[in-house]
Amino acid sequence: MTATTTVMKREFTTFSALSVAFAFVSPIVALYSVLGVGLAASGPAFIWGGMILYAGQFVVVLTLGVLASKWADSGGIYQWSRRLLGHRYGWFASWTYICTLLITLPAVAYAGAVLIPPIFDIPAADPGFVTWLAVGLLVLSTVVNLAGRVFIKILMVGVIVAEAIGSVGVAIWLLFFERHQDLSYLSPASLGGFDGVFFSAPLVMAIAFSSYFAIGFESASSIAEEVKRPKRAVPRAMVVSFFAIMMIVILSTLAFTLAVPNDAFLQDPENAADPAVAIMAATFPEPIFRGILALFVIAFAASLMTIQITVSRIVWATARNGELPFARVLTRLSGDTGLPRVAVIVTAVIAALLFIPFQSEGIQMALISFSSVGFFVSFLFPILGMAIARARGAWRDDPSLFLGRAGRAVSWLALVWLLFQIVNVAWPRESGAGWATDWSTVIGVGVVAVAGILVEAWVHRKRLHAAATGTTLVIVERDESDDDEDGPGVRGDGAATAPASNPAR
């Protein structure tokens, strides 16, 4: 394997990593995606579920920050899991994360495409038309990702401007000029009484439905090998982006909830489906309302682009270790800056094929729920791996790492939180749409797991064959000596598990 196939240039800064994490699930995307179902399930007190979620996710951010400060590899979750408990464990972490991201791509693209027809005053767009608009957003995202990092940086600036106006600006306006409720409207008492199953309690459901508020921060680690001084930059980017998103989402949730005119407003099915859009349509003059929707579409496009960045990098990193079919092709880098363009194109094609289910009504929320639990399971892999490695004596809480020795207590809290939240998000709650919808998240997780077992068995056979013949498999271990410098960060010769110099196909 030559150095040109394994090195990506460090052209991203700390701000770039922060922007990627921020845009992955921007406040606009997070709020618009789940506000309707959250208010429908838990009422005005939905905001309390979001605040509890952020408290739990904070310990997850800190724990992943510890891992990012130790290993600055592309495809962070995969690489951390592999280094902690071996390549097979890492492979399943990679598979889970890749599947989650590939399903998130069409979910985000479709949610953004729904906003386009109202901008041009196209009423009642049918799912087929919206699907083609979503495919168009995906094509735009792919083109930007293929064009180079400079274009990515430009779009990052655009999304920050969009958030400043579309999230913060709108929220401040609503709070000062369109507030129809006082703070008592948010009282936890509005959750009402409950005597059923714990995971069907309104507050617990609010925590589950707000899960999309606090994911995406880990995407900063996916570009670690492209970031200058990554062991310091990536943990900081994760934490800062987490807090930035948290503050804006809580502000926006508060503003939109207090802007609800009355209880009858949310009882209208059309308003309940998209309360944020309905409130803005009733608040702003039509030209301003359309302009805000355009900013929303920019935020969704940027989120789509950063999700595609993340999944292409983890596919590339996994293939670089010969852990995917057609790894030789997926590992190729092209262009002067060394971009994984083949991985970008492949992930775009797979995501486009996944748009087929959007011809069915009600699939959007099911995919968002599945992607949410997929993220939590992906987070669980390295954090559980750290706990097992610590129990085996293979992990030391080095004072030089992010958090230092405090990382031990924080990592255990993160593990307990993730186990709770995985069950909470996947719990089959009655929706009135039939058992298949209620169990869709569990079914989806099961399908991904079974498919993963089958694919990994095939990959493992290829791995054993490589070890026996000494011809195909290379595990690339980076030269970490320049992680605190600005230069390239991969040792070109790799660390081979077999004598050959090409990754497995």
Residue 422, pLDDT above cutoff 80? yes
Q: What average pLDDT does range 340-363 have in this prediction?
A: 81
Largest CA distance in the chain: 73
Residue 468, pLDDT above cutoff 60? yes
Residue 158, pLDDT above cutoff 80? no
Short-list 18, 7, 21, CA closest to 310: 21
Residue 475, pLDDT above cutoff 60? no
Residue 198, pLDDT above cutoff 70? yes
Least confident among 90-94, 107-111, 225-229, 493-497: 493-497
Angstrom distance (rounded) from CA 210 to CA 393: 36
3-state SS class at 495: strand
- Looking at residue 129, what DSSP letter applies? H
Q: What pLDDT is recorded for position 412? A: 93
Residue 197 burial (C-beta neighbours within 10 Å; 0-12, 13-18, 19+): exposed
User: How many CA atoms does the CB half-sphere of 203 hold within 13 Å?
Assistant: 14
Residue 199 or residue 504, greater confidence: 199
Under 8 Å between Cβ of 459 and 91:
yes
Give me the chain's average pLDDT, please.
83
Residue 385, pLDDT above cutoff 50? yes
pLDDT digits (tens, 9 = 90+) for 268-298: 888 887 898 899 999 999 999 999 999 889 8
Residue 430, pLDDT above cutoff 80? no
Short-list 190, 191, 171, CA closest to 179: 171
State whether CATH 3.40.50.1370 applies to domain 3-482. Answer: no
**CA distance readout (Å), 499 to 1, 332, 340, 503:** 11, 20, 25, 11
> CB neighbours of 176 closer than 8 A, spacing ≥ 6?
none
- Looking at residue 475, what DSSP letter applies? B
| pLDDT-based confidence at residue 52 (cuts at 50, 70, 90) | very high
Short-list 383, 285, 325, CA closest to 63: 383
- The structure tokens 């409950």 sit at 194
Angstrom distance (rounded) from CA 113 to CA 135: 9
Least confident among 105-119, 199-213, 330-344: 330-344
Angstrom distance (rounded) from CA 52 to CA 36: 19
Angstrom distance (rounded) from CA 273 to CA 40: 9
> CB neighbours of 468 closer than 8 A, spacing ≥ 6?
none
Short-list 376, 319, 378, CA closest to 344: 319
Rounded to 10 degrees, the C-alpha dihedral 132/136/139/143 comes to: 170
Determine how many CB atoms are found less than 10 A away from the CB of residue 262. 9
Under 8 Å between Cβ of 91 and 79:
no
Q: What pLDDT is recorded for position 202? A: 83
3-state SS class at 339: strand
> CB neighbours of 296 closer than 8 A, spacing ≥ 6?
28, 32, 112, 115, 162, 166
Domain ranges of the chain: 3-482
Residue 197, pLDDT above cutoff 80? no
Least confident among 31-40, 350-359, 370-379: 350-359
At residue 106, what is the residue type?
Answer: P
Q: What average pLDDT does range 138-148 have in this prediction?
A: 88
Q: What pLDDT is recorded for position 505? A: 36
pLDDT digits (tens, 9 = 90+) for 97-120: 999 999 989 888 988 898 999 898
Where do runs of H (alpha helix) occur along 182-274?
Answer: 202-209, 230-258, 263-267, 269-273
Q: What pLDDT is recorded for position 483? A: 65
Percent of the chain with pLDDT over 70: 87
**And the tokens for 173?**
């306006």
Helix (H) or strand (E) holding 347: helix 341-353
| pLDDT-based confidence at residue 493 (cuts at 50, 70, 90) | very low
User: What is this structure's pTM?
Assistant: 0.87
> CB neighbours of 288 closer than 8 A, spacing ≥ 6?
none
Angstrom distance (rounded) from CA 201 to CA 473: 51
Q: What average pLDDT does range 39-47 have in this prediction?
A: 86
